[in-house]
Chains A and B, each alone.
Chain A
Amino acid sequence: MDNLSKDMFVIKGKSIEKMESISRPSLSFWQDAWRRLRKNRAAFVGLCIIIFYVILAIFAPMLSKYGFSTMDAANQHAAPSLQHWFGTDATGRDQWVRTWMGARVSLSIGLFSATINMCVGAVLGGLCGFYGGKLDMIMMRIVDILYGIPSLIITILVMMVLGKGVAPLIVAMCVVGWIGTCRFVRGEVYRLKEQDFVMAAKVLGVSDFVIIVKHIIPNIVGMLVTNLCMAIPGAIFQEAFLSYIGLGIAPPRCSWGILAKEGIAYLRVHPHEVAIPAAIICTTMLALNLLGDGLRDAVDPKLRGTE
């Protein structure tokens, strides 16, 4: 054994550098989620539909030669044709333009009210869940009471103060809309704050603010985005309901809900007037639901690296 020295041996085919090097590019949480979302065909189709509708909502009214409120008495209830792609309504207004003008209203109401609700709910729910105690108890009672107030009364009061329009509708939906997110975030934070990594951070003397920003928020942000996707259809539904009972935005502006409501009156004679808005509402909901489902799978840490 004595005549064996270290320089007689050569390492072949293995090096420390190679063993320690990272063979695959490291993916951040969102890169990974995006990769998995793209693989989910249904969710990807949903995303494409949404983008397609948003583009049409922005550009279709600009590029059409018809105005959304220009009436044409000679062309009432026209069937879809080359001149009027989606036909015309009872006063001869071009449905193609009205549909995409309505998309601007419906989509922005859906997006803004859902986003605001999510932010408010997340902050309040987070505070309740993190600090607990008296604050939590009082907040939960307030939530219980707000839940019981008819949303119609709140909507009418908001409309009285702010007038009819898109912004008052968004405000009206936000007055009580944050409750769901608040409950959900509270539960999640309640669960997370008992976990070891938060305990470790506390023991190391990290401030509450940093714990919330660096440890708790990253753990719930995925689910929040998913919730957002599911909340947008809810807001569009509610706008449609309010329009249906005559509390929506003022004419001549329109939303998908108003178009569908006006179309239902002519269901038997001119079925296309309800079929087109209904189909567009349903495909939007479908796309958002598929996207939401896909996002939920994509951001679920339990499914990471299973494929």
Chain B
Amino acid sequence: MTKYVIKRVIAAILTLWALVTIVFFLSRLMPGEPFTNPKLTPQVIENMNKYYGFDKPLIVQYFQYMGNLLHGNFGYSMKYTNKTVNYIIGQTFPFSADLGIRALTLAISFGLVLGILAARKRGTKIDFFCVLIAIIGTSIPDFIMGALLQYFFGIKWGLLPVALYKGFKYTILPATALAFYTLASVSRIMRASMLEVTSQDYIKTARSKGLSEARITIRHQIRNAIMPVMTILGPTVAAVLTGTFVIEAIFAIPGMGKYYVESVNNNDYSMILGMTMFYGIFLVTANLIVDILYGVADPRVRIGKK
């Protein structure tokens, strides 16, 4: 087990290194330059380029950047010239993460309950209702969902604040909008895999042993059926926690999503790299945790033994 984890951690670090290298050179290939303000004179731009080290050969810049990265330093933003990337991430990430955690809690708990209920009561009205929610959830794009929630709950009925992020009341609408798609896909996958598990021999064994229905569902069905859900949760958790541009833009939440999209549009190289690394670390860690949890949830997946 320990050997497997060490191996996976080394692979994860190599993946991150390759990721940062590729994005470093790709971002320099993008058209345009970081300093485009028409008020800047050529002399100023030259000084700025010198200050950020753009006058040096690309390969030197690369090693400099990697050196800084090893110290955990993402450098200065080129758009917000007096702020470091670390500072911007530190300012915006708490909002994105807060919203993301709320949305994930909502999505995973409701998604699992709906999926399990639908599978237990297959063919009834409850099942129909759960499937309906799942299909609606995967059929509405997030910006339409966000706008609809805002219009009805915020403007028409005036129940909840339309935008900003200043307390529990403000979190309800964006978290719901963000959670809906994940909720739908979790419940859909959970329902399918519960149904598949139900016809397995060990469930029949458990039933003939005389276990109660509740015990069979909790101890045997759910534990086996939850694996496919975990697989999709790895990338989803990383994406949701690091901010979503659309939801944050609609509800005016000061999260990371906006900076990510803006940095790409502004050729803000250090921001692009910093944000990508930050997201990459989340993604790799989430996938790693999911793989290790596989072993915990399913004794058949014996990690480390070949």
Contacts and interface: CB of A to CB of B under 8 A. Distances in A.
Contacts of A157: 26, 29-30
A147 B144 CA distance: 26
Contact of B23 (A149, A268, A286): A149
A240 B26 contact: no
A248 to B, nearest CB: 13
A245 B261 contact: yes
Nearest to B31: A160
A141 B15 CA distance: 7
B140 A282 contact: yes
A200 interface: no
B93 interface: no
A103 interface: no
Contact of B143 (A150, A264, A286): A264
Interface in B1-35: 11, 14-16, 18-19, 22-23, 26-27, 29-31
B244 to A, nearest CB: 10
A260 B27 CA distance: 30
A161 B260 CA distance: 22
B246 interface: yes
A73 interface: no
A152 interface: yes
Contact of A153 (B14, B141, B272): B272
A247 B97 CA distance: 26
Interface in A260-300: 260-261, 264, 267-268, 271, 274, 278, 281-283, 285-286, 289-290, 293
A282 B29 contact: no
B85 interface: no
A153 B23 contact: yes
Interface string B263-291: 01000000010011001100110000000
A274 B147 contact: yes
A162 B135 CA distance: 36
Contacts of B22: 145, 149
A260 B264 contact: no
A112 interface: no
A133 B72 CA distance: 36
Given A141-B15, A245-B261, A268-B155, A150 B23 contact: yes
A268 B139 CA distance: 23
Interface string A235-248: 00100110011000
Nearest to B19: A148
A281 B275 CA distance: 31
Interface residues of B, number: 38
Given A147-B235, A148-B283, A268-B155, A281 B144 contact: yes
A244 B138 contact: no
Contacts of A281: 140-141, 144
B151 interface: yes
A222 interface: no
A129 B136 CA distance: 35
Interface in B105-161: 135-136, 138-141, 143-144, 147-148, 151, 155
A148 B26 contact: no
A154 B26 CA distance: 8
Interface in A121-161: 141, 144-145, 147-150, 152-154, 156-157, 160
Contacts of B14: 141
B74 to A, nearest CB: 15
Which 10 pairs show the lowest CB-CB distances between chains A and B?
A285-B139, A286-B139, A148-B280, A148-B19, A160-B31, A278-B144, A152-B264, A145-B18, A144-B15, A264-B147
Given A144-B284, A148-B283, A150-B275, 4 more contacts: A141-B11, A153-B27, A153-B30, A245-B261
9 contacts: A149-B276, A150-B279, A152-B261, A156-B30, A157-B30, A244-B246, A267-B151, A274-B144, A285-B140
